[in-house]
């Protein structure tokens, strides 16, 4: 789990052998308490926390359990263009090759890279280094600018976005 992302504890499977559970209390270990069987929370700081679940039955008896939570700092993958290394010109409906380097934070891995051309994902998610795709540009008038970006997702679900590249359409 990462700072700023929603952490959800689903304790709805809690049960009592002779009575029904009438109350759930989830303490996330940072002062946040939620009284619901499905409790969500967003941690503001990285660190180790102990979440505690208390369930109460109809007789007023309480059972407790804990769960260790490690919240990692937000650190999305970093992308760097290989091709093109700057803005380029190309013909309408011409083919270009896009290639990115993507690096995940320590202890994480890049799961894949998507290339977005003119707001449309092209070629599916590339999961092989070097991350690249050949794409056919859309029909566009000379002088039109088509924005190209890439995104990478890491093993914790964080998404990094490349600097944009502009493809200017020639005749």
pLDDT tens, position by position, 26-62: 999 999 999 999 999 999 999 999 999 999 999 999 9
By C-alpha distance, which of 149, 85, 158 is closest to 119? 149
Strands of 45-119 (E only): list them: 47-57, 62-71, 78-83, 88-91, 95-103, 110-117
Residue intervals of the chain classified under CATH 2.60.40.10 are 6-71, 78-170
CATH of 6-71 given 2.60.120.620, 2.60.40.10, 3.50.50.60, 1.10.287.3240: 2.60.40.10
Query: For domain 78-170, is the CATH number 3.30.390.30?
Result: no
Residue 3 · residue 9 · CB < 8 Å: no
pLDDT digits (tens, 9 = 90+) for 85-107: 999 999 999 999 999 999 999 99
């Amino acid at each position: 789990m990462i700072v700023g992302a929603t952490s959800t504890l689903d304790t709805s499977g809690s049960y009592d052998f002779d009575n029904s559970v009438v109350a759930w209390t989830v303490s996330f270990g940072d002062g946040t308490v939620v009284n619901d069987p499905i409790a969500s929370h967003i941690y503001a700081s990285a660190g180790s926390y102990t979440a505690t679940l208390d369930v109460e039955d109809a007789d007023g008896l309480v059972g407790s359990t804990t769960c260790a939570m490690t919240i990692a700092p937000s650190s999305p993958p970093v992308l760097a263009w290989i091709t093109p290394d700057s803005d380029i010109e190309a013909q309408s409906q011409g083919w270009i090759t896009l290639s990115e380097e993507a690096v995940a934070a320590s202890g994480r891995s890049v799961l894949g890279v998507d290339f977005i051309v003119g707001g449309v994902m092209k070629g599916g998610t590339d999961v092989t280094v070097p991350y690249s795709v050949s794409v056919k540009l859309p029909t566009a008038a000379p002088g039109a600018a088509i924005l190209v970006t890439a995104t990478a997702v890491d093993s914790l679900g964080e998404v990094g976005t490349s600097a944009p590249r502009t493809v200017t359409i020639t005749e």
